[in-house]
Amino acid sequence: MARVDLSRKRLSREQAKTVIEGERRAGRRIVFTNGCFDLLHVGHVRYLEEARHRGDVLIVAVNADATVRALKGPERPILPLDERLRILAALAAVDYVVPFEEPTPHALLRALRPDVLVKGGDYGVEGVVGREIVWEYGGEVCVVPATEGLSTSRTVERIRSERGNT
């Protein structure tokens, strides 16, 4: 089996804009999602596969370590940004990964203007951060239901309780 060059999948914001513009000119439908993706589990994989099925190209924006700490607490992320990007890039469903430092993906959404914004969760489209930006230019917003019982936070809690570290 041929080895995939994962470095070509990791893009800066500027590179992402250029690459996505080229994909769009080629007539491809661009799907965007974002998140922490700390300790990837099968629920993440299912969600990313479903997101990929919504278009031709899937770009995954990944929160930088500082924003993960702000969102999840001082003991997170478990895995540093470079490792999370590398793991996501290895997935067949993911075409590109791009890190972002801001607390929301708003700037990336404005720059990339994806055709579809997909989020995983147990909430409606109205709860998706950035939806108003995507709707402004006529894009679509979708929510993929979370896989019942799977979450990184629960996995971390389970590991800590089994080790006696609460």
What tens digit of pLDDT does each residue of 38-60 get?
Answer: 888 888 899 999 999 999 999 99
111 belongs to a structural domain = yes
Domain total of the chain: 1
Range of the domain at 83: 6-163
Is the residue at 67 inside a domain?
yes
The two tokens of residue 65 are 């370590």
- pTM of the predicted structure, to 2 decimals: 0.88
Report the CATH number at residue 133: 3.40.50.620
Is the model more confident about 120 or about 106? 106
Across the strands, what pairs with 100?
A: 63
Q: Confirm whether 37 is domain-assigned.
A: yes
CA distance readout (Å), 11 to 52, 54, 115, 144:
18, 21, 19, 25
The Cα 87–Cα 139 span in angstroms is 28
Is residue 57 one of the residues assigned to a domain? Answer: yes
Most confident range (mean pLDDT) of 2-11, 81-90, 154-163 is: 81-90
3-state secondary structure of 6: helix
Tell me the three state secondary structure of residue 25: helix
Residue 105 in domain: yes
What are the C-alpha distances in Å from 7 to residues 39, 47, 96, 98? 20, 23, 10, 11
The predicted pLDDT at position 39 comes to: 85
Q: Decide if 140 is inside a domain.
A: yes
Instruction: Grade residue 29 by pLDDT with cuts at 50, 70 and 90.
Output: very high
Tokens describing residue 159: 């590991």
Beta strands in 41-139 (DSSP E): 57-63, 96-100, 116-121
- The answer to whether residue 119 is domain-embedded is yes
The reply to whether 1 falls in a domain is no
- Whose tokens are 């690459």? That residue is 19
Going by the DSSP 8-state scheme, the letter that residue 103 receives in this structure is S
Q: What's the pLDDT tens digit per position in 107-147?
A: 999 999 999 999 988 788 999 999 999 999 999 999 998 76
Polymer length in residues for the chain: 166
